[in-house]
Amino acid sequence: MKFYFFLLTTLWFVFPAFAQECTKSISGEVIDFHDKTPLAGALVVVVGQNTSVTTNSLGEFTIDGLCDTAIELEISHPECTSQFLTIDTNDETNLKISLEHHLELLDEVQVVGAAQRQKTASSVEKTVQLQTLERMSGGSLGDALKTVSGVSSLNTGANIVKPVIQGLSGSRVLILNNEVRMQDMEWGDEHAPNIDVSAANRITLIKGAGALQYGGDAIGGVILVSPEKMVAKDSLYGKFLANGMTNGRGGNATVELVRSFENGWFVKAQGSYKRLGDLEAPNYVLSNTGISQVGGSLQIGKNSFKEGWEAFYSYFDSDIAILRASHIGNVDDLIAAINSKQPNFIAPFGYAIDNPSQEVTHHLLKGNYYRRFEGAGKLKIQYDYQQNQRFEYDLRRGEARGIPSIDLTLRTHTISSDFKIDANNKRQLRFGLMGRYQNNTADPSTGVRRLIPDYDKYDVGVFVIGEYYLSSQLTLDTGLRYDFSQIDAKKFYQLSRWEERGYDQDFGDLILEDFGSQLLTNPVLNFHNISGTVGLEYDLGAETAIRANYALSQRAPNPSELFSEGLHHSAARIELGDLRIQSETSHKIAVSTEKNTPDWGYTLTPYANQINDFILLEPSGVEFTIRGAFPVWSYRQTKALLMGIDASLYRQWLSNWRTEHQVSFIKGSDKTLDRALINVPPIRLLNKLIYKRPQWNGLRIALESNYVFEQNEFPPNITVFSPQVNENVVLDINTPPPAYHVLNMDMEMTFKMLKKDDFTIGINISNLLNDSYRDYLNRQRFFADNMGRNVQLRLKLYF
């Protein structure tokens, strides 16, 4: 609201007064939209004229001496959203104006330095702002999120990046793109979210399952990728953003165009393209690691305070080459790769995307409508459709060359609605319903047995969330959600596998047809999940707050956990799901204390997450084929405990110097087997020094140090028989790589071109010292080093 006042004050001086003989007058009353109480102290301004009045204690106002018959009024109140009204002084002289008396829309106004309105009161939330996103626009969504403490990433090379929140990833992290829950086969470790980070305006991260409106199964957390909010004013503007990179010898570019109208209509179109060749580690080319990516979106809608609608379509296609050296034949090849300090296949730099590779296309279509009811609340209805097409190409022989090994099409329809009751100042209630149908089809023409079977999945969810403002300082939030999910699959099992798993004993009645060496089965599995949350937010004043939250959440197993059955060449492993897997249940307690002043601030978030029946994938044994031995990775369930702390601190030392510090520590243990969990992020320490000199064309220089410790807690390695040396050998598959330190640097300046401060040029250097290192959470750590130095030139133009 300060912003509006500022704006109004500015307008005051800008617009000269036109003294005329005018006699028209209007009067009216300003009331709260929700509970209809009068609003005192509301400012009523005649737009474009030097006239303003303030409402009295009864919410009334009168403006005299008006000349025009058609005038525009801006009505604002420190605690409300401003409203614009066009009136005819001949027709209306006694107005009744209702203002939105809650801070609900505050997050639409970007006030520098002020906290964003949270999606929940008591969960830990962090927002990555546009400026940071623009600086990270050459990377991926996962890279941008790593700027938040407690977030790491699970990589397959540098281009496939899955965000990990407090040690959890994949199906445990919900990603919402413009309020649509992404359904893009998020279950696979080598499946990156299909989101174009250069199209995002803001990314909010909610740690834990406290935001039940998005789903009950967010054991890790929720990531909200939001486009820009449209403002109802007549404008046409756009943005061009491009990055050129030395590592990969390519770049990306995004163009965005927005047309909005005073009556609330808006259209936004955006398109992006990215192309990189082979990436380079400090000592060698990472052969076959290029990427080609195309994204686009179109958004049309109409917003007003009372009602609005939006239609949104987005397209995302990425074609990602997978490191050639990571495609291996058997356990001996894997041992050879682990022992060799460099990849077994290095070719000169090239742009070609050869096999192995993956190509994923994601379509997202959404329509929504909202309406506010005076004295009641706001109703929202949304429908969305998503189609995810995934091809994975392996190195194949003969006629199969060029035919994908995996060809899956996932289609999802979702209808959701929710109603928010905010008429009462003391509380806010929200009810919601969700229905979803999903169909997966695996094309049999691949000539490879389906890794994920054909299935139909039905989901129904219902939730209620309440927020109670107990005092001006204390807010209580609670929520409860129920989800039903049914998965109806048609899956072929090899007879030998069916028997080896003991399914012939337990699931004999699922068999539809016997093809000799294969069985067609029809598993129909139902899951009932309950989730709930309760939390408190206590505002201590002086920009300090404490939050405490408990969340119960249950997650049904995903198709990969249930049905996986086959050989993954990319990891030389056989992955086995289990039909007996049940929902996992998480109990998480998180406390956070936070202070945000202009001079300094901190966040301290300890948490404990106990997950019963935690589903995990880890090496469990070896199987022999004519190709030799393969480690078997099986899904199993255990009782897991994740405990950790995320801490961050910033300090503005002098007006130009600022430092930022982050540390995240997490310990994951398997309580059933009394040992460490696999793939738990090691301790990360991040320190940043920022120098800013606004008078020098907004000069900003940032130096960032990233220290990642060695993970010293990991499950034991397994022993396998090696045909090559004719004896049992230890397969060093779980041993983490040593600690590493990487320095990054970013510089930018802003210049005046067409309008004011509209052209920004920046240079970003990642891995400044060109250090060789490997990361524990990179699936390609067995085969090659991470990327070496990358110098990026960034251009941004607003027009």
Partner 1 sequence: MKTKFFSALAMTSLLFLSCNNDDNTPDPVNEEEVITTLTVTLTAAGGTPIELKSQDLDGDGPDAPVITVSGSLATSTTYSGTIKVLNETESPAEDITLEVEEEDDEHQFFYGISGLNATTEYGNFDDDQNPLGTEFTLTTTDASTGSITFTLRHEPKKPNDGTLADAGGETDIAVTFSVEIE
Ranges within 482-511 binding partner 1 (CB under 8 A): 490, 492, 494-497, 500
Using alpha carbons only, how large is the chain's radius of gyration in Å? 28
396 binds partner 1 (CB under 8 A): yes
Name residues contacting partner 1, limited to 680-709 (CB under 8 A).
none
What is the smallest separation between the CB atom of 439 and partner 1, expressed in angstroms?
6
Task: Spell out where 694-768 has E strands.
Answer: 699-708, 718-722, 727-731, 740-751, 759-766
Site for partner 1 in 753-792 (CB under 8 A): none
> Pairing between strand 474-494 and 454-469?
antiparallel
* Cα–Cα distances in angstroms (integers) from residue 491 to residues 323, 451, 604, in the given order: 31, 10, 47
> Shortest approach of partner 1 to residue 294 CB, angstroms?
6
If you write DSSP's letter for every residue of 767-799 in order, what string do you get?
Answer: STT------TTBTTTTT-PPP--EEEEEEEEE-
- Could you tell me which stretch among 446-454, 601-609, 651-659, 685-693 binds partner 1 (CB under 8 A)? 446-454
Under rule CB under 8 A, residue 332 binds partner 1? yes
CA distance 654 to 651: 9
348 or 541: whose CB is closer to partner 1? 348
Candidates 34, 146, 327, 789: give the one binding partner 1 (CB under 8 A).
327
Task: Select from 536, 405, 561, 386 the least CA-distant residue to 473.
Answer: 536
Q: CB-wise, 367 or 698, nearer to partner 1?
A: 367
> Which range in 206-214, 332-340, 759-767, 788-796 contacts partner 1 by CB under 8 A?
332-340
Q: Which residue from 349, 385, 431, 468 is in contact with partner 1, where contact means CB under 8 A? A: 385
Among 53, 95, 114, 400, binds partner 1 (CB under 8 A): 400
Contact (Cβ atoms closer than 8 angstroms) between residue 658 and residue 650: yes
Size of the site for partner 1 (CB under 8 A): 67
Q: What is the DSSP string of 584-645?
A: EEEEEEEEEEEEE-SSEEEEEEEEEEEEEEEEEEEEEEEEEETTEEEEEEEEEEEEEEEEEE
Least Cβ distance, residue 403 to partner 1 (angstroms): 9
Nearer to partner 1, 363 or 580 (CB): 363
Tokens of 377: 């609340």
Per the CB < 8 A criterion, the answer to whether 721 and 330 are in contact is no
> Running DSSP on this structure, what letter comes out for residue 760?
E
| 726 belongs to the binding site for partner 1 (CB under 8 A) | yes
Q: Does 110 sit near partner 1 (CB under 8 A)?
A: no
Min separation Cβ 629 and partner 1, Å:
8
Residue 453 near partner 1 by CB under 8 A: yes
Residue 441 binds partner 1, judged by CB under 8 A: yes
Task: Give the DSSP H or E segment for 95.
Answer: strand 94-99
- Does residue 480 interact with partner 1 by CB under 8 A? no
Closer Cβ to partner 1, 472 or 726, answer by number: 726
* Pair 723, 711: CB distance under 8 Å: no
335-364: which residues touch partner 1 (CB under 8 A)?
Answer: 336, 344-345, 361, 363
d(CA 159, CA 787): 11
d(CA 271, CA 430): 35
Both tokens assigned to 677: 């969990």
Sign, CA torsion 635/637/641/647:
positive
Pick one of 17, 19, 542, 626: the residue that binds partner 1 (CB under 8 A). Answer: 626
Tell me whether residue 494 or residue 734 sits nearer to partner 1 (CB atom): 494
How many angstroms separate the CA atoms of 744 and 311, rounded? Answer: 40
Per CB under 8 A, the segment of 126-134, 209-217, 282-290, 512-520 that binds partner 1 is: 512-520
User: Please, which residue, 16 or 398, has the CB nearer to partner 1?
Assistant: 398
Full DSSP string of 222-252: EEEEE-PPP-SS-EEEEEEEEEEETTTTEEE
CB 185 to partner 1: min, Å? 17
Question: Is residue 447 involved in binding partner 1 (CB under 8 A)?
Answer: yes
Buried/exposed 71-92: b ≥16 CB within 10 Å, e otherwise: bebbbbbebbbbbeeebebeee
Least distance (Å) between residue 74 CB and partner 1: 39
217/578 with CB nearer partner 1: 578
Question: Least distance to partner 1 from the beta carbon of 444, Å?
Answer: 5
Residue 628 Cβ, how far from partner 1 at the closest point, in Å? 4
Choose, by CB under 8 A, the member of 234, 513, 713, 732 that binds partner 1: 513
Asked if 284 is part of the footprint of partner 1 (rule: CB under 8 A), the reply reads no
Does position 246 interact with partner 1 (CB under 8 A)? The reply is no
Helix (H, G, I), strand (E, B) or coil at 398: helix
Q: Alpha carbon of 453 to those of 359, 361, 487, 489, 522: distances in Å? A: 19, 19, 11, 7, 10
Q: Which stretch binds partner 1 (CB under 8 A): 64-72, 166-174, 391-399, 659-667?
A: 391-399
Is the peptide bond prior to 631 cis by the omega test (within 30 degrees of 0)?
A: no
Pick the stretch among 13-21, 40-48, 149-157, 328-336 that binds partner 1 (CB under 8 A): 328-336
Binding-site member from 3, 309, 313, 602 for partner 1 (CB under 8 A): 313
| Span interacting with partner 1, options 149-157, 371-379, 514-522, 654-662, rule CB under 8 A | 514-522
308 burial via Cβ count (<10 Å: 0-12, 13-18, 19+)? buried
Cα 317 to chain centroid, rounded: 18
- Mask for 586-625, x = binds partner 1 (CB under 8 A): -------------------------------------xxx
**Nearer residue to partner 1 within complex by CB, 52 or 344:** 344
How far apart CA 526 and CA 419 sit, in angstroms, is: 28
Binding site for partner 1 (CB under 8 A): 271, 273, 294, 296, 298, 313, 315, 317, 327-330, 332-333, 336, 344-345, 361, 363, 365, 385, 387, 395-400, 411, 439, 441-442, 444, 446-450, 453-454, 490, 492, 494-497, 500, 512-513, 515, 517-518, 520, 566-567, 569, 574, 623-628, 630, 723-724, 726
